Every structure is written in C-alpha cells, then in structure tokens.
Structure 1
Amino acid sequence: MTLLPLSDDAFLFPGAVNSLVFASDSGGALLVDTGLDESHARKLLRAVQDAGLTPSAVLNTHSHADHHGGNAFILKRFPELEIYAPPLEAAIIQHPVLEPLYLYGALPPKPLQSKFLLAPSSPARPLEAGTHTLGSVTLELLNVPGHAVQMFAVRRGGLLYAADALFGPDTLSKHPLTFCADSAQQKASAASLLHLEGVQLTVPGHGDATPDLAGLVRLNLDSLERTTQNVLNAVQAGAASTDTLLARVCTDLGIVMTNPGAVVLNRSVVSAHLKELLEAGRIEMTTEDNHLLFRAASA
C-alpha cells in the first residue's frame, strides 16, 4: 500500500484508522496516528520509506488504542522519535491500562485486555493546542474534545484532519452508537469545525476524505442527536439502570453485542448521553433498592 497525496506535502495512509503523513523540506515525515497494531504500523512505515521519507516525530490525536497502538513498533525502528499528544491522553498512552480501567470501572479482566482496549505503552510528551513545529513540520492543533476527553484535530493549509471529531458516513452507518466520552462536547466540537475558513479537504479518523466539510459535520451532528434521542426514549420506557438502558437502545437499533469489549464501549456511549440529558434537566438520576437508576424528569 502506498501513500495517497492530499497536497504537496501531506499524504494519507488509509485503513480502518487513517494515518496522516506530513513531509518536511528535509525529507522528514511527521506521522499522525499510528493505527491499531504492529500490522498497521509496519505497512505505514514501509509506505513512508518507499516515498523516500524518514519518520521525524509522531503525533497521537488522542489515546484510544486504535490511534496509538502502532507507536511501539515504530519506536523499535526509530527509538529516538518524540511522540506528542494532548496532556491527559499522553498519560494514557504511557499507561494504557487506564483505558480499559475507566471503561470497566476497575482493573480489567483478561477479556478486556485485547489490543482494541489495551495498546502497548509508549512515552508521550504532553502538548497544548496551538501552532507547533513537530519533526520540522509546522501545523495547527485544534481542541476537539468529546470523543475522547481531550483530542486534537490537525490543520495545515487547506487540509483538515478531523481525527475522531468527525466520522465518515459508512462508519456512522456501521456503528450507530458512535463512541464518545462527552456527547455534548462531541457535538460542540463537530459544530466548531464549521467555522473554519479555507478548508478544502477534510479527512476523518475513519472514512474517506471529502471536500464537503459542512456536509460531514451535519451528518455527524444528526447521528449524535439521534443517539441522544434513542437514549431518552429508553429512559422514558421506565426507570432503569445503565445496563438495562443499553440493552433497550441496542434492541431498538438492531445491535447485537457479542463480546465484553463491545458492551463496555457501548455502555460508555449511553453513559455519555445520559450525562448530557441529566445536565439538560430532561432526566433524573436516583438511587433505589441499591440500584442507580435513571428516569424521565418530573413534570
């Protein structure tokens, strides 16, 4: 697989998770998101080297395993590389057990220690949003929290890598419960990208590049709002726990969860939308008979 040119100095390495490559004048390559595992990273590295470039730094937009799982392999080949990430995300990249720990609520059992939830550890330097030069490549990092607690979108000229602030239409169709840590922030971050001027091409973290940023934002906002309504409908069907609400939502959407990882990920999605509904005063949280329950707000 080869790098696909997006501009004179920017390239896409497509996959289940997209990686971006920004070339410097000196032949260096800033790698943005390294994929789920060694397989993705090995192919990415081969494509970079086939293009006559040498990795000069790595930027992880956030700490989900599918975006930094390839770091460890790349560091084996280039141990001097610096890895950058948002501050909280950098801590999780260095201590990846934090991801399944917060999803499960305790140290995770073996079924929740798969590569999809627990990437290999790699050192990461915390970085704030703004304009930075990383590996001799200057770009703008934009705060787009919501999908993860912290996350960067990457802007260079007319190119926007939205990371997981936006998803492509096929991904939204395949995964109607789009993962988020904070659904209200996810909506706000997606909407904030509409105000960017001069964006000619947008690449989501999952999906194809598109010149239609506004259309992609609207598609994502519609999907997120549908999920909020799905969760509200589940609550309005009767007071219930998060797990019962998750089952109701999955039944309504035709989702069949077949492994523990899917359950804890989708439970987090429901929990995020429950928080949004609580803060909007549309539902209430109560404790009854040693159960944490959610119910429709009193009139």
Structure 2
Amino acid sequence: MSSLSPLGPGVHFLPGAVNSLVLEDGRGGALLVDTGLDDGHARKLLRGLTELNLTPTGILNTHSHADHHGGNAFILKRFPELKVFAPPLEDAIITHPILEPIGLFGARPPRELQSKFLLAPPSPARLAPEPGVARIGGVSLELIEVAGHASLMYAVRVGGVLYAADALFGPEALAKHPLVFCQDSALQKEAAARLSALEGVEVTLPGHGDPAKDLPGLVAANLSALERVTDAVRAAVHLGEAGVDDLLARVCDGLGVTMSNAGAVVLNRAVVSAHLTELLERGEVGLRVTGNRLVFFPEA
C-alpha cells in the first residue's frame, strides 16, 4: 500500500505537517507540488512515488515559506535535471532563502532565526506560468492566485481537486495557531473568499490539515479565524497607544498564545503588523512617531 493517499484520478498527496501534492502525467511521471520542510519529508515523498512506479518530472512550490520548499534540495540531489517553478518574488526567495529571515527580522538574522523553519536550503527556482490553465512537468493544471499568506502564492486545481496551499488551513491548524500567519491580512481574506466561489470542487486539500469535502465551510472557518485576529489587534490598540512589540504581547494575552522562541516572536510580530496595516487602511487606527518610537493609536 502506498504512503501516498488518493484525492482523485491521477492525484495523490503525502500527508504530514505540510501536505505535498503529486500529479500524474499519465506516462509514468508526476509533478510534485510543495516538498515539505526537510529531507525527511522529501524522502517519504520519493518513497511514495517509487511505490506507485512514478518518476518526478518537476517541482512546483506554491510559495516560498521554508516548510513548503525545504525538501527541494534533497530531491534535486537525486534528480538534478528537475526544474523548480514558483510564483514571482517567491522564486527569488526559494533561490536565496536568507531573504525570508531577513524580511522577518529586518536585518541579517541572528543564529536563532536561521533554523530550518525559517531558512531552507537553496534551490534554483524559475518563474511559474501566470495564473490560469498551464502545463508544468507534463501535467495540465489550473493555477489560482491567492496572495496574502505570502507576498504571492498559487493554489492548484486539477479537475475536482483543489490544493489551496496556505490560503486555507484545516480546523486543527487554526486551533493550534490562533495567530494565523499572513503577510497581508486583507488579501488573505479576499483570497479565501474567492476560493469559496469556485464551482465543481469535490475535495479541498489545505497546506496544513486533512482533505475537506465542504469548501465553503472550510473558507468560513478560515475567515472567522482571520477576523478573530483583526479583532484582537484592534482591541490591543484600544488599550492605549503602543509599538508593535507591546501590541503583540497584548494580542497574545488576549488569544491565550505563549511564545517560547525567537522564531515564533518574529512570525507572530509579522501577523500583528499585517493586521495593523489593514486597520490603518480602514482608518480605524493611526500611527505616529513619539519619543523615538513608532506607535499605533485608535482613531476616534
């Protein structure tokens, strides 16, 4: 029995902390969509291909977060001829992964921010086709732009199967991580809502979580989680003007989140910043510099 689970005709996935999608080309080959965090996940992915007598024909990374392309390097050692595709900007970060912790920290990151969770091995990525019907690694698929969680991200649809990547999270992931990661909270909400309008989707695979038959229900759960964070950030600002780090502490207190490492702090700080930008653009909060500090305050 294969370690890969079926989702539809010629469509499989490797379940894990991050899901990987396997799309058959009908000729004994398969396109790999997201390769997981590390060598261990990549090894399981290749083992699953062997069990189904499939050979990889290419790699598509939906976005540049380390847990979605960390397995690239291991697979490329075995199959150096494979091409790696990713959306614009995401391809640059996959090629130069140090850009991810630099973006989160704002400078050359300390050693504590150079773990595999924030700094994957580099792999040479090139631009994926633009959104729409495309052919990658001999496989026909539809690429759907779902920016928000990352600067740019693609969901992938093949027939009745939708791989939402991190535009949607499963219920357990939402419960485990109340501060749903995003770089643009407004765009993340828009992307989720657009996916809900898709017709003919029989099963949806989130980047983190189990396959779901109820796409509108999954979208509703994600939108509710995102709005909960927006509400928590708004409430934190209304406790009195403060900088991002103080607001992060208030939000964590409000949502019952405990951070124990530097990686969690910079990731959650980015989430709070994303929602602050959304609230700024709505005119609900303001910002100013006072006492050499950038602070946010509630607008009347």
TM-score category of the 2 structures, normalised to the smaller one:
over 0.9
1:214 matched to 2:216: yes
The match for 2:51 is 50
Distance 2:76 2:13 in 1: 21
Aligned to 1:36: 37
Matched with 2:96 is: 95
Paired position in structure 2 for 1:106: 107
How do 1:68-147 and structure 2 match up within 5 A?
Answer: 68-127=69-128, 128-147=130-149
Per-residue CA distance 1:185-241 (angstroms, 9 max, x = gap): 000000001111100100000000011000000000000001000000000000000
Q: Is 2:245 aligned against 1:250?
A: no
Separation in 2, partners of 1:7, 1:167: 20
Aligned-residue offset at 1:253: 1.3
Query: Residue 227 of structure 2: which of 225, 233, 253 is its match?
Result: 225
Q: Deviations over 1:140-195 (max 9, x none)?
A: 00000000000000011010000000000000000000000000000000000111
After TM superposition, the runs of 4+ consecutive aligned structure 1 residues lying more than 2 A away are none
Distance in 1 between residues matched to 2:288 and 2:179, nearest whole Å: 25
Where do 5+ consecutive residues of structure 2 fail to align? none
Tell me how far 1:255 sits from its aligned partner. Answer: 1.0
Please show how residues 233-272 of structure 1 align to structure 2 within 5 Å: 233-272=235-274
1:104-156, Cα deviation, whole Å (9 max, x unpaired): 00010100000000000001111221211111100000000000000000011
CA distance in 2 between counterparts of 1:114 and 1:235 reads: 32
Secondary structure, aligned partner of 2:169: coil
Separation (CA, whole Å) in 1 of partners of 2:44 and 2:3: 9
What RMSD, in angstroms, separates the aligned Cα atoms of the two structures? 0.7
Partner of 2:178: 176
Q: TM-score, normalised by structure 1?
A: 0.99
Cα distance in 2, alignment partners of residues 179 and 202 from structure 1: 20
The one-letter code matched in structure 1 to 2:264 is A
- The one-letter code matched in structure 2 to 1:166 is L
Q: 1:202 aligns to what?
A: 204
Quote how far apart the aligned CAs of 1:8 are: 1.6
**% identity of equivalent residues:** 63
Residue 175 of structure 1 aligns with an amino acid whose one-letter code is H
Deviates more, 1:64-73 or 1:3-12: 3-12
Q: Distance in 1 between matches of 2:50 and 2:145?
A: 31
> Which residue number in structure 2 is paired with residue 65 of structure 1?
66
Q: Aligned-pair distance for 1:57?
A: 0.5
Equivalence for 1:150 = 152
The residue type equivalent to 1:218 in the other structure is A
Q: Per the alignment, in what secondary structure is the counterpart of residue 166 of structure 1?
A: strand
* Partner deviation per Cα, 1:245-281 (whole Å, 9 max, x = no partner): 0000111111111000000000000000000000000
Letter in 1 for 2:151: V
- In 1, the alpha carbon distance for the partners of 2:138 and 2:103 equals 35
